[in-house]
Structure 1
């Protein structure tokens, strides 16, 4: 049995709103901790791991509503929380989930018949079960100064890139030139900005890429 301890901000059930699995009922496991520093991040409450924010595990089995908190949990404890819900798709996100060794958690979830999806910035090594799906949202030239790893790009099943302007697409092109990938590519407008959305639509049509429109924000669910 693994002795990996995960710091968990929240566990809840909803509809996946982004990427290839858009519309799929999912249990989200949101882990605490990230030093990438994306300025548009909508989960900044998960960045810091401070001792004063620790709480009991039974307090994170519900949406945190942007509360900066975390509870310690083993893979087996997280599986017990997940099994309370109906969904068979589990999204492990953050924060930056690849701060942690995700092998024990993704392996045990897969063994229990769950499809695992890990959402990562690609700036940390990806330690997961080979059956898990990797959604890599490459964070390029962020405040934290971390680079997207070539190994992470090779492991990605899906590259979901946030776009606010043409320079963001140019940065993705440069990354793909450095790290060719067979992953599906989706562009995601930042914060539903109309100009960014139109740019993503135009580029997706021209390149036969996908559009990730953050469905959950349009329909008003977590």
Structure 2
């Protein structure tokens, strides 16, 4: 388990801008690699793992600027990078971070007093320390043709669903039968569209759900 090597696009400190922990200072670990194929994805530079894009670990210890680059890192090496920052909340995202076994990394972080949050599409098995907070942002009928797993929905502490139209909410309803009753449900308008935002607001009011507004985009931070 301790020999897992991660391909990482960037490590940087900012605030969490989405979902339950919105506004929380956080260190983001962005993994390289994803085959889900969301058309609105704002990190498409993380999709491909090309050998020519490998860089040193020192270079990825900063925002990537949307560059398609990555470095190999062990859990111990990532812990050293993270200890250079102030935030104690760690967000593991991608790409699709569940390409990787995250148990070695998250166990080390929790043992050192950090709080880990995973952000995943729910289309891969979730291998993570049981103390971690799991945010599933279910990606349904995407180009990669991967199904959202019932096991991923069952592990979710939070379901943060991207919404553009009513059919997206209908598709979410079909998945929620697998979800723990105590899980937080948040709707997130796609691309800050007014029509989608209005739909999310009304649905959250009607169902007593939460609204996730991508705070970092409104205030202009990473």
> Shorter-normalised TM-score: what interval?
over 0.9
Corresponding position of 1:156: 156
- Which residue is 2:204 aligned to? 204
CA deviation after TM superposition for structure 1 residue 174, in Å: 1.5
Q: Deviations over 1:140-184 (max 9, x none)?
A: 01010000111111100000000011110011012224x243211
- Cα deviation digits, residues 91-143 of structure 1 (max 9, x gap): 00000000000000000000000000000000000000000000000000101
Alpha-carbon distance between aligned partners in 2 of 1:81 and 1:190, rounded to the nearest angstrom: 32
What residue is the counterpart of 2:65 in the other structure?
Answer: 65
Residue number in structure 2 paired with 1:113: 113
Counterpart residue number, 2:20: 20
Query: What do you get for the CA RMSD once the two structures are aligned?
Result: 0.8
Q: In structure 1, what is the Cα distance between the partners aligned to 2:219 and 2:22? A: 12
Alignment-derived partner of residue 3 in structure 1: 3
Distance 1:139 1:35 in 2: 11
TM-score by length of 1: 0.98
> What's 1:125 paired with?
125
User: In the aligned structure 1, how far is the partner of 2:39 from the partner of 2:180?
Assistant: 26
Q: Retained in 1: the 8 A contact 2:101–2:127? A: yes
Aligned residue in 2 for 1:147: 147
TM-score w.r.t. length of structure 2: 0.98
Inter-partner Cα distance in structure 2 for 1:181 and 1:46 = 30
Q: Residue 119 of structure 2: SS of its match in structure 1?
A: strand
Q: Matches of 1:186 and 1:65 in 2, distance apart? A: 28
What aligned pairs does 1:44-193 form with structure 2 within 5 A after superposition? 44-177=44-177, 179-182=178-181, 183-193=183-193
- The secondary structure found in structure 2 opposite 1:122 is coil
In the other structure, the counterpart of 1:218 is 218
